[in-house]
A and B are shown apart, each in its own frame.
Chain A
Amino acid sequence: MMLEKPNPVLEIRGLSVSVGTDEGEARILDNAGLALMPGSIHGVVGESGCGKSTLIRAILGILPKRGRATAGSIMLGERNLLELPADTLQKEVRGRAIGFIPQDPFQALNPVFRVGTQLLETIRTPGDSRATRETKKAHVISLLKAVQLPDAEHALDRYPHQFSGGQRQRLLIAAALASSPGIILADEPTTALDVTTQLQILKLLRGLAIERGLSMLFVTHDFGVVAQLCDTVTVMYAGQTVESGPVGQVLKAPYHPYTQMLLACHPERADELAGIPGAVPSPLRPPTGCRFSPRCPSARPECNAGQPPRVAPSPGHAVRCVLHLDEAAA
């Protein structure tokens, strides 16, 4: 008997993205996939250069000029975002269906505009009456209170440089919530903050997600953050999504050699500082098949035959690795 599983609010299938460079096509994303289930926080974790930012840009429809999706789909409900015109993406997706929280709160706000102008930007409409504008302002102020910004009433009239880093990140979280999106896309929102502030922001995000029933895609390079915040996680390596599953399972019993080695690198878990020998391959000339194979201690000849199929050795916990092909059959 099959249980009715809810549909994902955002699902990426077989996404490949290429960016033209002076040295040729760089294949930044290769057959990447993930699913964000309603009301859950899904982590996307990987080293810098693994294609996390490109993934975010692809979802938001703001790939760099010479970048394009060569295969796959990004389904927001029934709509494939890759097929939507630029205008629709701006008017209905970015800042509307999907709220965005950026990485560096110090650089993300325009220094010469009042915070209020910027926080109201996505919900402003040109012919607004005075009363409508006041209602919108009140709405944003209530959001500022929800993100626990001190002195929220006066914040809108101040300039970004008058706030601390943690406060600015709260402002940006409120900005992401302004048009009441169902999905939040967070791009390493705590990386630029100090550790204590990080913790507060993570707690805040968790609280907001539960309170407002948000689905959140949380991109990070830090497994520790994933452990604290996320329900499920996708691990990326060199533009491929190598493993995904519930955070507890992935942390406790990772399938993919890359995930295992990445977890061993985490200072809190490792007995001594370990690293992964070798370097992330260039997207200009990626290895065929599994892109981790050149660095993988368990690599076999068939790793390069093609990307291993996605198999789920245990329910909900899937991996793309030849080592687990037989387990899936069981």
Chain B
Amino acid sequence: MTLFILRRLLLALPALFGLLVLTFVMLRVLPHDPSAALAGENATPEQIAAVRKAYGFDEPVWKQFVIYVGQVARADLGNSIISNRPVTSDIAWRLPATIELTFVALLFAALVGIPLGTMAAVWHNSPFDHLMRIVTVGGLAIASFWFAIILQIVFSMDLGWLPLRSRYPEGLPPPTDITGLYLVDSLLTLRFDKFWAAFQHIIMPAFTLSLGGLASIARFTRAGVLETMQKDFVHYAEAAGYARKRIIWVYVLRNSVVAATTQIGLLFGALVSSAVAVEAIFDWPGVGSYAVSAILTSDYKAVLAVTLVIGVIYAIVNIVVDVVHAMLDPRVAENP
């Protein structure tokens, strides 16, 4: 298993290198003239030339790339045009909010999607299955920004049950910073009032964000369970007298979840990109809303840093998914 994890980490290196190349190209290509963009709107040609020299844009491309890699390694990606703080510290501050949101959304999608998909498979072609199909197609088709607004109108404005926006009530000091995740920190410090406040705030954004993932996890689980139920070992389990509930919820489900985990890894990418919209709507102080404002203000260093960070997280999530996959299916670790 250790060997498997090491091998998997090594395999992530080419992907990370690709990410560096991609962001480097973005850095050089996206702004029409990076030096002009950096120097500001009213800069004189002399000022632009000075910036070009200062940033090494007059150096050969390979040398610029080496410099860029060095900067990334030192987490030195320059200052944001808007906040005038280093973009890395901006992101470091906002990252936990996004991680918390996407993780809760993913957890919810998996915890609800997997049982729903299993039930749809067990009673396939029943009214329940047809209803599930309608709901999941709907879940995939509904635009999250529209759904978010409907939620806000119904649950905050009309019913007043849930806070309209933001991550945390303004008057209440946030929980002691341990992991940066409010839900976790409040539990660790046993402040259940703070947990409840953070929980109320995360319900709507997390639910909105989870919708697409929930639908595809349910559909993948349904397909997986249906396929697994045709396997010989299921027929054997039946003939050997296993209880039907155990066959489905233990033996079949484990096999189907193995397939679904890989799906969850891929979903994470989609989740992060929808988080950009969801965070903007709910005013969630995460990397997504930061990216939106960075794009709108052409703060391209911030955009670059967000791309890098999300790319790295995506790689990490997929390594974790592979390790979980190997833990669920012992054959994977032995024949990677």
**Partner-B contacts on A (CB < 8 A):** 56-57, 60, 62, 90-91, 93-96, 99-100, 102, 104, 107-113, 121-122, 159, 161, 175-176, 179
B240 near A94 with CB under 8 A, answer yes
| B331 touches which of A56, A107, A161, A175 (Cβ 8 Å) | A161
B233 near A122 with CB under 8 A, answer no
Main secondary structure of the interface of B (DSSP, over half): helix
Cα(A159)–Cα(B329), bound, Å = 10
A112 near B258 with CB under 8 A, answer yes
- The number of A-B residue pairs with CB atoms under 8 Å apart is 75
B239 near A112 with CB under 8 A, answer no
Mask: chain B, 237-270; 1 = CB below 8 Å from A; 0 = not: 1111111101000010011001000000000000
| B244 touches which of A90, A111, A175 (Cβ 8 Å) | A90
Known: A99-B240, A109-B236. 4 other contacts (CB 8 A): A95-B241, A100-B236, A102-B240, A111-B233
Q: Which residues of B have CB within 8 Å of A102?
A: 232, 235-236, 239-240
A121 near B240 with CB under 8 A, answer yes
B331 near A111 with CB under 8 A, answer yes
B114 to chain A, nearest CB (A): 15
Query: Does B328 interact with chain A (Cβ within 8 Å)?
Result: yes
B241 near A113 with CB under 8 A, answer no
| A122 touches which of B240, B244, B328, B329 (Cβ 8 Å) | B240
Q: Which residues of A have CB within 8 Å of B238?
A: 60, 62, 94
**Partner-A contacts on B (CB < 8 A):** 231-233, 235-244, 246, 251, 254-255, 258, 328-331, 334
A107 near B233 with CB under 8 A, answer yes
Q: Which residues of B have CB within 8 Å of A93?
A: 241
Cα(A176)–Cα(B236), bound, Å = 11
Closest B residue to A158 using CB positions: B330
From A62, A121, A175, A176, name the one whose CB has the most chain B CB atoms within 10 angstroms. A121
Cα(A104)–Cα(B95), bound, Å = 52
Q: Which residues of B have CB within 8 Å of A179?
A: 241
A122 near B242 with CB under 8 A, answer yes
B241 near A122 with CB under 8 A, answer yes
Sorted nearest first, the 5 A-B pairs with minimum C-beta distance are A95-B241, A94-B241, A107-B232, A108-B236, A110-B233
Cα(A62)–Cα(B232), bound, Å = 14
B232 near A104 with CB under 8 A, answer yes
B330 near A121 with CB under 8 A, answer no
A9 to chain B, nearest CB (A): 18
Q: Which residues of A have CB within 8 Å of B331?
A: 111-112, 159, 161
Closest B residue to A121 using CB positions: B242
Cα(A70)–Cα(B231), bound, Å = 28
B255 near A100 with CB under 8 A, answer no
B324 to chain A, nearest CB (A): 12
Cα(A238)–Cα(B328), bound, Å = 44
Q: Which residues of A have CB within 8 Å of B232?
A: 102, 104, 107-108
B244 near A112 with CB under 8 A, answer no
